[in-house]
Amino acid sequence: MTVTDPSPPSPVPARILVVGGGGRENALGWALARCPGVEQVLVAPGNGGTTALAGCGQLAIAESDHGALAAACRAHAIDLVVVGPEAPLAAGLADRLRSEGLAVFGPGADGALLEASKRWAKDLMQEAGVPTAGYWAATDRQQALDALERHGRPLVVKADGLAAGKGVTVADSLEQCREAIEEVFAGRFQSAAPGEAAAPSLVLEERLHGPEVSVFALTDGRSMVLLPPAQDHKRIGEGDTGPNTGGMGAYAPARLLDAAGMEQVRQRVLEPILAALRARGIDYRGVIFAGLMLTEEGLRVIEFNCRFGDPECETLMPLLGPELAQVLLACATGRLEQAPPLTIEPRCSACVIAAAAGYPGEVRRGDPIDGDLGDDPDLQLFHAGSRRSEAGPVVTAGGRVLAVVAQADDFDTAFERAYDGLGRVGFEGMVYRRDIGHQVRTRRPALP
């Protein structure tokens, strides 16, 4: 009989700081606070909902204030920092905190280029052999216009750099493409690629067709854990019409990818991209978000992001087990293989977003938010654009205001629960889509 050394136990972080103030961070805080062994979760800056979460506290520190965040980690003896949004990651928050010895779930500025520079990401995908749309990079206006003329068909125009989801134009005509190119070179978006500080540049991409699905891999740079695939609803209007938004609702698991499909995503997309990152000397610890399109020719990567999707995060967190805090710490410390397996409940999760009137344009703010969903283990209310007003009540403070999420054994029941919950909360001018999950619901709502 051989005796093997038991693996060192995987520690639980007692004190966690979540950086960010959206629905995603509200859901992360909620999910981490319910993990056994987690004593406190602080959210900075949080929102009007964070204070109401059991086990969560709030710090009034902006995600851009790296110095104050580092000081707060020292003051509160933080064991794990989870960075939600892309902007602080691209600005090097994880590097700064790691340089002070902290465990951080979220890549450094180098890994965040996966999202922060479209061109860098496309080059890496090509190098790694990851299936993606054909592309042409251009650093000047004429070069871009010439590439478009040579192609002779509308192309997708993507400004390089973080543009808060506004840098992509899926044009139907050559004229629209030219206008989008002019806009980029008029300097509306800035490049985040190293050494190109403010020079506008763009990527022109072949237009692909097919349903989209989001896949998230938690990684320590070598191993990874995949979460169930989720489908977002980007358009503001029912029937997937109207302008793009950050996402009006989501559901998981999306049936677009079965176990074999997920295995393909792992082998053809995630493992090669992680290997290519390592080959560039990048130690990527955090989440890789693959935005995929399922085309007739097979799966293609539309984009990578260096963070959880929102509202996909709100949708997925309730399905994850009590090992989540340990798993995120293990990713942050490069020891994912020693962490316990992450339990993923085989249930259906449905998320509907309530937005403020005017979204995705200018929105009204300051309206009191009413209602409460009570204590139902299968129903969650997460806040996004909300804040606690000086007078006391929580008021609207952004475009997407609330996320109502419900779980059940089937999607019809999950969506009925979510919409029932949404009927019990609200604010003046609340806007939402009634057809979230239309792809998987059999009992459809009556639409006009």
Residues that bind ligand AMP (CB under 6 A): 133, 156, 165, 168, 170, 205-208, 212, 234, 291, 302-303
Task: Name which of 238 and 303 has its Cβ closer to ligand AMP.
Answer: 303
| Minimum CB–partner distance for residue 249 and ligand AMP (Å) | 15
DSSP line for 393-408: SEEE-SSEEEEEEEEE
Kindly provide the b/e burial profile for residues 70-107, where b requires at least 16 CB atoms within 10 angstroms of the residue's own CB: bebbeeeebbbbbbbbbbbbbbbbbbbbbeeebbbbbb
The DSSP letter of residue 230 is: B
Q: Which stretch binds ligand GLY (CB under 6 A): 142-150, 265-273, 309-317, 417-425?
A: 309-317
* Least spacing, CB of residue 438 vs ligand AMP, in Å: 17
CB of 179 to ligand AMP, least distance (A): 16
| 205 interacts with, out of ligand GLY, ligand AMP, none, CB within 5 to 8 A per kind | ligand AMP
Whether the CB-CB separation of 56 and 121 falls below 8 Å is answered with no
* Residue 319 binding partner per list ligand AMP, ligand GLY, none, with a CB distance cut-off of 5 to 8 Å that depends on partner kind: none
Answer yes or no whether residue 309 interacts with ligand GLY by CB under 6 A. yes
Task: Provide Rg for the chain, Cα atoms.
Answer: 21
Q: How far apart are CA 419 and CA 441, in angstroms?
A: 13
Tell me the site size for ligand GLY, rule CB under 6 A. 7
Q: φ and ψ at 407, to 5 degrees?
A: -120, 150
Peptide bond into 253 cis (omega under 30): yes
Helix axes 118-128, 109-116, angle to 10 degrees: 100
Half-sphere exposure of 102 (CA within 13 A, CB side): 29
By a kind-dependent CB cut-off of 5 to 8 A, residue 207 interacts, out of ligand AMP, ligand GLY, none, with ligand AMP
Binding mask 268-307 for ligand GLY (x = CB under 6 A): -------------------------------------x--
Cα separation, 330 vs 337, whole angstroms: 8
Q: At what angle do helices 324-332 and 23-33 cross, to 10 degrees?
A: 110
Q: How far is the CB of 342 from ligand AMP (least distance, A)?
A: 26
Residue nearest to ligand AMP (CB): 303
**Smallest distance, Å, CB 95 to ligand AMP?**
24
Shortest Å distance, C-beta 69 to ligand GLY: 22
Q: Which residues pair with 395 in a beta bridge?
A: 368, 387
Pick what 194 binds: ligand AMP, ligand GLY, none; C-beta below 5 to 8 Å, kind-dependent: none
CB of 230 to ligand GLY, least distance (A): 9
> Cα(300)–Cα(295) distance, rounded to whole angstroms?
7
Spatial CB neighbours of 208, under 8 Å, sequence gap ≥ 6: 133, 293, 295, 300, 302
For residue 312, state whether it binds ligand GLY (rule: CB under 6 A).
Answer: yes
Q: Which residue lies nearer to ligand GLY by CB, 147 or 163?
A: 163
Omega prior to 360 cis, within 30 of 0? yes
Answer with the entry of ligand AMP, ligand GLY, none that 170 interacts with (C-beta below 5 to 8 A by kind).
ligand AMP
Q: Which residue has the tokens 């978000």?
A: 289
Q: Closer to ligand AMP by CB, 171 or 354: give it.
A: 171
Question: Which residues is 204 bridged to in the sheet?
Answer: 136, 157
Contact partner at residue 398 from ligand GLY, ligand AMP, none, CB < 5 to 8 Å by partner kind: none
Query: Residue 358 corresponds to which tokens in the numbers above?
Result: 């005017």
* Residue 182 contact among ligand GLY, ligand AMP, none, beta carbon within 5 to 8 Å by kind: none
CB of 209 to ligand AMP, least distance (A): 7
| Least Cβ distance, residue 155 to ligand AMP (angstroms) | 8
Query: CB-wise, 234 or 424, nearer to ligand AMP?
Result: 234
* Nearest distance, CB of residue 176 and ligand AMP, angstroms: 14
168 binds, among ligand AMP, ligand GLY, none (CB under 5 to 8 A by kind): ligand AMP
Burial of residue 424 (number of CB atoms within 10 Å: 0-12, 13-18, 19+): middle
Question: Whole-angstrom distance between the N-terminal and C-terminal Cα of the chain?
Answer: 71
Which option in ligand GLY, ligand AMP, none does residue 184 bind, with CB closer than 5 to 8 A by kind?
none
- When asked if residue 247 is in the footprint of ligand GLY (CB under 6 A), the reply is yes
- Identify which of residues 395 and 404 has a Cβ nearer to ligand GLY in the complex: 404
Contact 229, 215 (CB under 8 A): yes
Pick from 232, 238, 323, 367: which binds ligand GLY (CB under 6 A)? 232
Residues forming the site for ligand GLY (CB under 6 A): 232, 246-247, 305, 309-310, 312
